[in-house]
Structure 1
Amino acid sequence: MPYNYIKALHIIFIVTWFSGMFYIVRLFIYNTEAGEKEGIEKEILQKQFSIMIKRLWMGITWPSAILTIIFGGWIVSTYPVIPQWLWIKLGFVAGLYVYHFTLQKIYADQMKGIFRYSSNQLRVWNEVATIFLIAIVMIVTVKDNMSWLWGLIGLVLFTVILMSAIKIYKIIRSKNK
Protein backbone atom coordinates (compact mmCIF):
# COMPACT_ATOMS: atom_id res chain seq x y z
CA MET A 1 0.00 0.00 0.00
CA PRO A 2 1.50 3.39 -0.94
CA TYR A 3 2.84 5.58 1.85
CA ASN A 4 0.26 8.38 1.41
CA TYR A 5 -2.65 5.96 1.85
CA ILE A 6 -1.13 4.64 5.06
CA LYS A 7 -0.56 8.21 6.27
CA ALA A 8 -4.15 9.17 5.39
CA LEU A 9 -5.54 6.17 7.31
CA HIS A 10 -3.29 7.04 10.26
CA ILE A 11 -4.64 10.60 10.32
CA ILE A 12 -8.26 9.42 9.97
CA PHE A 13 -7.91 7.09 12.95
CA ILE A 14 -6.12 9.76 14.99
CA VAL A 15 -9.11 12.04 14.42
CA THR A 16 -11.66 9.37 15.39
CA TRP A 17 -9.57 8.34 18.41
CA PHE A 18 -9.32 11.91 19.69
CA SER A 19 -13.02 12.45 19.01
CA GLY A 20 -13.78 9.41 21.12
CA MET A 21 -11.51 10.52 23.95
CA PHE A 22 -12.97 14.03 23.97
CA TYR A 23 -16.57 12.84 23.97
CA ILE A 24 -16.17 9.91 26.37
CA VAL A 25 -15.11 12.19 29.21
CA ARG A 26 -18.12 14.44 28.52
CA LEU A 27 -20.29 11.33 28.86
CA PHE A 28 -18.47 10.40 32.09
CA ILE A 29 -19.30 13.89 33.38
CA TYR A 30 -22.98 13.61 32.42
CA ASN A 31 -23.19 10.11 33.91
CA THR A 32 -21.60 11.37 37.14
CA GLU A 33 -24.02 14.29 37.30
CA ALA A 34 -26.95 11.95 36.59
CA GLY A 35 -25.96 10.17 39.80
CA GLU A 36 -26.88 13.35 41.68
CA LYS A 37 -30.50 13.12 40.47
CA GLU A 38 -33.28 11.34 42.32
CA GLY A 39 -35.27 8.19 41.61
CA ILE A 40 -36.46 7.35 38.12
CA GLU A 41 -34.65 10.31 36.51
CA LYS A 42 -31.32 9.02 37.86
CA GLU A 43 -32.08 5.47 36.75
CA ILE A 44 -33.13 6.42 33.21
CA LEU A 45 -30.24 8.84 32.66
CA GLN A 46 -27.55 6.50 33.96
CA LYS A 47 -28.92 3.61 31.93
CA GLN A 48 -28.87 5.71 28.75
CA PHE A 49 -25.42 7.17 29.45
CA SER A 50 -24.04 3.68 30.13
CA ILE A 51 -25.25 2.51 26.72
CA MET A 52 -23.76 5.56 25.01
CA ILE A 53 -20.47 5.23 26.89
CA LYS A 54 -20.09 1.54 26.05
CA ARG A 55 -20.86 2.02 22.35
CA LEU A 56 -18.50 4.97 22.00
CA TRP A 57 -15.65 3.40 23.96
CA MET A 58 -15.79 -0.11 22.53
CA GLY A 59 -17.13 0.68 19.07
CA ILE A 60 -15.13 3.79 18.13
CA THR A 61 -12.46 4.84 20.61
CA TRP A 62 -10.68 1.53 21.23
CA PRO A 63 -10.69 0.41 17.58
CA SER A 64 -9.39 3.85 16.56
CA ALA A 65 -6.60 3.69 19.16
CA ILE A 66 -5.54 0.28 17.86
CA LEU A 67 -5.65 1.32 14.19
CA THR A 68 -3.78 4.55 14.99
CA ILE A 69 -0.88 2.61 16.46
CA ILE A 70 -0.89 0.06 13.63
CA PHE A 71 -0.75 2.66 10.86
CA GLY A 72 1.57 4.91 12.88
CA GLY A 73 3.95 2.02 13.45
CA TRP A 74 3.82 1.25 9.75
CA ILE A 75 4.81 4.86 8.96
CA VAL A 76 7.65 4.82 11.51
CA SER A 77 8.94 1.59 9.96
CA THR A 78 9.50 3.46 6.67
CA TYR A 79 12.13 5.75 8.26
CA PRO A 80 15.69 4.46 7.81
CA VAL A 81 16.71 6.58 10.82
CA ILE A 82 14.13 8.01 13.22
CA PRO A 83 14.59 11.80 13.46
CA GLN A 84 14.71 13.62 16.81
CA TRP A 85 11.31 15.30 16.34
CA LEU A 86 9.69 11.89 15.80
CA TRP A 87 11.19 10.51 19.02
CA ILE A 88 9.70 13.47 20.88
CA LYS A 89 6.34 12.95 19.18
CA LEU A 90 6.43 9.26 20.09
CA GLY A 91 7.04 10.27 23.72
CA PHE A 92 3.88 12.36 23.66
CA VAL A 93 2.01 9.54 21.91
CA ALA A 94 3.12 7.16 24.68
CA GLY A 95 1.75 9.66 27.20
CA LEU A 96 -1.49 9.80 25.23
CA TYR A 97 -1.85 6.01 25.45
CA VAL A 98 -1.29 6.25 29.23
CA TYR A 99 -4.10 8.83 29.28
CA HIS A 100 -6.24 6.45 27.20
CA PHE A 101 -5.69 3.69 29.78
CA THR A 102 -6.76 6.06 32.58
CA LEU A 103 -9.99 6.57 30.63
CA GLN A 104 -10.32 2.79 30.38
CA LYS A 105 -10.15 2.62 34.19
CA ILE A 106 -12.82 5.32 34.56
CA TYR A 107 -14.92 3.47 31.96
CA ALA A 108 -14.61 0.17 33.84
CA ASP A 109 -15.49 1.85 37.16
CA GLN A 110 -18.53 3.67 35.77
CA MET A 111 -19.81 0.49 34.15
CA LYS A 112 -19.73 -1.03 37.67
CA GLY A 113 -21.50 2.02 39.14
CA ILE A 114 -18.33 3.33 40.80
CA PHE A 115 -17.86 7.10 40.51
CA ARG A 116 -14.46 8.07 41.94
CA TYR A 117 -14.27 11.56 40.41
CA SER A 118 -16.49 14.60 40.59
CA SER A 119 -17.76 16.22 37.42
CA ASN A 120 -15.33 19.10 38.01
CA GLN A 121 -12.36 16.73 38.30
CA LEU A 122 -13.46 15.04 35.08
CA ARG A 123 -13.72 18.43 33.34
CA VAL A 124 -10.08 19.08 34.17
CA TRP A 125 -9.09 15.57 33.09
CA ASN A 126 -10.94 16.07 29.80
CA GLU A 127 -8.48 18.82 28.84
CA VAL A 128 -5.43 16.57 29.10
CA ALA A 129 -6.22 15.21 25.62
CA THR A 130 -6.28 18.78 24.30
CA ILE A 131 -2.79 19.40 25.65
CA PHE A 132 -1.50 16.20 24.01
CA LEU A 133 -3.23 17.13 20.75
CA ILE A 134 -1.60 20.56 20.61
CA ALA A 135 1.84 19.21 21.49
CA ILE A 136 1.70 16.41 18.90
CA VAL A 137 0.30 18.56 16.08
CA MET A 138 2.88 21.30 16.71
CA ILE A 139 5.75 18.80 16.71
CA VAL A 140 4.58 17.08 13.51
CA THR A 141 3.82 20.34 11.71
CA VAL A 142 6.82 22.45 12.72
CA LYS A 143 9.31 19.58 13.17
CA ASP A 144 12.95 20.70 13.14
CA ASN A 145 12.08 24.39 12.69
CA MET A 146 10.58 24.64 16.16
CA SER A 147 12.39 26.18 19.08
CA TRP A 148 11.95 23.54 21.76
CA LEU A 149 12.25 26.15 24.49
CA TRP A 150 9.50 28.34 23.00
CA GLY A 151 7.41 25.28 22.24
CA LEU A 152 7.61 24.15 25.85
CA ILE A 153 6.89 27.65 27.15
CA GLY A 154 3.89 27.89 24.79
CA LEU A 155 2.56 24.51 25.95
CA VAL A 156 2.90 25.47 29.63
CA LEU A 157 1.19 28.84 29.02
CA PHE A 158 -1.61 27.15 27.11
CA THR A 159 -2.08 24.67 29.98
CA VAL A 160 -2.22 27.50 32.55
CA ILE A 161 -4.80 29.40 30.44
CA LEU A 162 -6.86 26.23 29.96
CA MET A 163 -6.87 25.38 33.66
CA SER A 164 -7.73 29.00 34.52
CA ALA A 165 -10.67 28.87 32.11
CA ILE A 166 -11.92 25.70 33.82
CA LYS A 167 -11.66 27.38 37.22
CA ILE A 168 -13.54 30.47 35.94
CA TYR A 169 -16.22 28.22 34.43
CA LYS A 170 -16.61 26.45 37.79
CA ILE A 171 -17.07 29.78 39.58
CA ILE A 172 -19.64 30.99 37.04
CA ARG A 173 -21.47 27.66 37.16
CA SER A 174 -21.65 27.66 40.96
CA LYS A 175 -23.00 31.24 40.97
CA ASN A 176 -25.72 30.26 38.48
CA LYS A 177 -26.97 27.36 40.62
Structure 2
Amino acid sequence: MKFSIRGGAPLDGVLTYDDSEYGFSFDARSPKALGERLGTKGVTSALIGTLQLEIDVESREIVYVWGYFPNVRGDVGDLEVPVASPGRVFLSSDDFLEAGVSFDVPGKPWRVTYDPSSGWVALRLSDAPATLVQIADGTVVGLDDGALVSLWLRPVFSG
Protein backbone atom coordinates (compact mmCIF):
# COMPACT_ATOMS: atom_id res chain seq x y z
CA MET A 1 0.00 0.00 0.00
CA LYS A 2 1.58 3.25 -1.16
CA PHE A 3 0.54 6.84 -0.65
CA SER A 4 1.55 9.98 -2.51
CA ILE A 5 1.54 13.67 -1.68
CA ARG A 6 0.02 16.42 -3.78
CA GLY A 7 -0.17 20.13 -3.19
CA GLY A 8 -3.27 21.74 -1.83
CA ALA A 9 -4.76 23.24 1.27
CA PRO A 10 -5.65 21.16 4.33
CA LEU A 11 -9.35 20.63 4.98
CA ASP A 12 -10.50 23.35 7.36
CA GLY A 13 -12.41 22.10 10.39
CA VAL A 14 -12.24 20.89 13.98
CA LEU A 15 -10.84 17.55 15.12
CA THR A 16 -12.43 16.61 18.45
CA TYR A 17 -11.78 13.82 20.91
CA ASP A 18 -14.79 13.05 23.12
CA ASP A 19 -13.57 11.49 26.38
CA SER A 20 -17.03 10.17 27.24
CA GLU A 21 -17.31 8.30 23.93
CA TYR A 22 -13.59 7.48 23.53
CA GLY A 23 -13.58 8.69 19.98
CA PHE A 24 -12.45 11.20 17.41
CA SER A 25 -14.71 13.16 15.09
CA PHE A 26 -14.00 15.77 12.44
CA ASP A 27 -16.37 18.59 11.58
CA ALA A 28 -15.53 20.43 8.38
CA ARG A 29 -16.08 24.17 8.67
CA SER A 30 -17.54 24.25 5.18
CA PRO A 31 -19.84 21.48 3.90
CA LYS A 32 -19.08 22.80 0.40
CA ALA A 33 -15.30 22.34 0.86
CA LEU A 34 -15.87 18.82 2.19
CA GLY A 35 -18.23 18.04 -0.68
CA GLU A 36 -15.60 19.15 -3.21
CA ARG A 37 -13.29 16.43 -1.85
CA LEU A 38 -15.88 13.69 -1.96
CA GLY A 39 -16.79 12.04 -5.25
CA THR A 40 -19.87 10.05 -6.16
CA LYS A 41 -18.53 6.55 -5.39
CA GLY A 42 -18.67 6.78 -1.58
CA VAL A 43 -16.01 6.44 1.07
CA THR A 44 -14.00 3.75 2.77
CA SER A 45 -11.65 3.73 5.75
CA ALA A 46 -8.04 2.75 6.25
CA LEU A 47 -7.78 1.43 9.80
CA ILE A 48 -5.13 1.82 12.44
CA GLY A 49 -6.77 -0.40 15.01
CA THR A 50 -10.19 1.19 15.41
CA LEU A 51 -9.09 4.65 14.25
CA GLN A 52 -10.36 5.38 10.75
CA LEU A 53 -8.75 7.44 8.02
CA GLU A 54 -11.68 8.36 5.78
CA ILE A 55 -10.77 7.90 2.10
CA ASP A 56 -12.83 9.03 -0.87
CA VAL A 57 -13.15 6.00 -3.19
CA GLU A 58 -13.18 8.07 -6.38
CA SER A 59 -10.19 10.35 -5.75
CA ARG A 60 -8.46 8.00 -3.26
CA GLU A 61 -7.70 10.97 -0.98
CA ILE A 62 -7.40 10.69 2.81
CA VAL A 63 -9.94 13.32 3.80
CA TYR A 64 -10.02 13.25 7.63
CA VAL A 65 -9.71 11.01 10.71
CA TRP A 66 -12.48 9.72 12.96
CA GLY A 67 -13.47 6.75 15.09
CA TYR A 68 -13.38 4.92 18.38
CA PHE A 69 -9.92 5.08 19.96
CA PRO A 70 -9.93 4.40 23.71
CA ASN A 71 -6.17 4.53 24.36
CA VAL A 72 -5.61 8.10 23.15
CA ARG A 73 -3.63 8.84 26.29
CA GLY A 74 -2.03 5.38 26.41
CA ASP A 75 1.54 6.54 26.93
CA VAL A 76 2.24 10.04 28.19
CA GLY A 77 5.48 11.60 26.97
CA ASP A 78 7.11 14.62 25.43
CA LEU A 79 6.62 15.07 21.70
CA GLU A 80 8.28 17.52 19.38
CA VAL A 81 5.58 19.53 17.67
CA PRO A 82 5.49 18.19 14.12
CA VAL A 83 6.61 20.56 11.38
CA ALA A 84 4.36 19.68 8.47
CA SER A 85 3.77 21.08 5.02
CA PRO A 86 0.18 21.66 3.94
CA GLY A 87 -1.02 19.24 1.30
CA ARG A 88 -3.18 16.31 0.37
CA VAL A 89 -2.38 12.61 0.61
CA PHE A 90 -3.72 9.99 -1.80
CA LEU A 91 -3.61 6.21 -1.96
CA SER A 92 -1.46 5.73 -5.04
CA SER A 93 -1.17 1.94 -5.20
CA ASP A 94 -3.66 -0.11 -7.18
CA ASP A 95 -5.39 -1.49 -4.12
CA PHE A 96 -9.08 -2.06 -4.83
CA LEU A 97 -11.36 0.24 -2.85
CA GLU A 98 -15.00 -0.49 -2.18
CA ALA A 99 -17.33 1.97 -0.48
CA GLY A 100 -18.01 0.99 3.11
CA VAL A 101 -15.40 -1.81 3.21
CA SER A 102 -12.52 -0.88 5.50
CA PHE A 103 -8.97 -2.20 5.32
CA ASP A 104 -6.00 -2.25 7.69
CA VAL A 105 -2.98 0.00 7.26
CA PRO A 106 0.06 -2.33 7.17
CA GLY A 107 2.49 -2.30 10.05
CA LYS A 108 2.37 -3.13 13.73
CA PRO A 109 2.62 -2.29 16.48
CA TRP A 110 1.52 1.33 16.31
CA ARG A 111 2.90 3.15 19.35
CA VAL A 112 0.63 5.85 20.80
CA THR A 113 2.11 8.80 22.68
CA TYR A 114 0.16 11.70 24.17
CA ASP A 115 1.86 14.96 25.16
CA PRO A 116 -0.40 16.87 27.58
CA SER A 117 1.70 20.04 27.32
CA SER A 118 1.21 20.39 23.56
CA GLY A 119 -2.04 18.45 23.12
CA TRP A 120 -0.56 16.27 20.35
CA VAL A 121 -1.23 12.54 20.03
CA ALA A 122 1.28 10.61 17.90
CA LEU A 123 0.69 7.17 16.41
CA ARG A 124 4.00 5.87 15.07
CA LEU A 125 5.46 2.69 13.70
CA SER A 126 8.97 3.93 14.50
CA ASP A 127 10.91 7.07 15.32
CA ALA A 128 12.43 7.20 11.82
CA PRO A 129 12.09 10.52 10.00
CA ALA A 130 9.07 10.93 7.80
CA THR A 131 7.67 13.50 5.41
CA LEU A 132 4.88 15.21 7.35
CA VAL A 133 1.81 16.57 5.58
CA GLN A 134 -1.05 18.45 7.22
CA ILE A 135 -4.17 17.14 5.47
CA ALA A 136 -6.77 18.71 7.76
CA ASP A 137 -6.89 20.91 10.83
CA GLY A 138 -5.39 18.91 13.70
CA THR A 139 -4.30 16.07 11.40
CA VAL A 140 -0.81 15.36 10.08
CA VAL A 141 0.13 12.26 8.07
CA GLY A 142 3.71 10.93 8.07
CA LEU A 143 5.00 9.07 5.02
CA ASP A 144 8.29 7.29 4.40
CA ASP A 145 8.92 6.13 0.84
CA GLY A 146 5.16 6.09 0.21
CA ALA A 147 4.32 4.07 3.32
CA LEU A 148 2.12 5.51 6.07
CA VAL A 149 4.36 5.46 9.15
CA SER A 150 2.84 8.03 11.49
CA LEU A 151 -0.26 10.01 12.26
CA TRP A 152 -0.17 13.14 14.40
CA LEU A 153 -3.43 14.40 15.89
CA ARG A 154 -4.14 17.54 17.85
CA PRO A 155 -7.77 17.37 18.85
CA VAL A 156 -9.93 19.59 20.97
CA PHE A 157 -10.73 17.43 24.02
CA SER A 158 -14.32 17.40 25.23
CA GLY A 159 -16.72 15.31 27.28
Larger Rg, first or second structure (1 or 2): 1
Larger relative helix fraction: 1
TM range (shorter): under 0.3
Larger relative strand fraction: 2
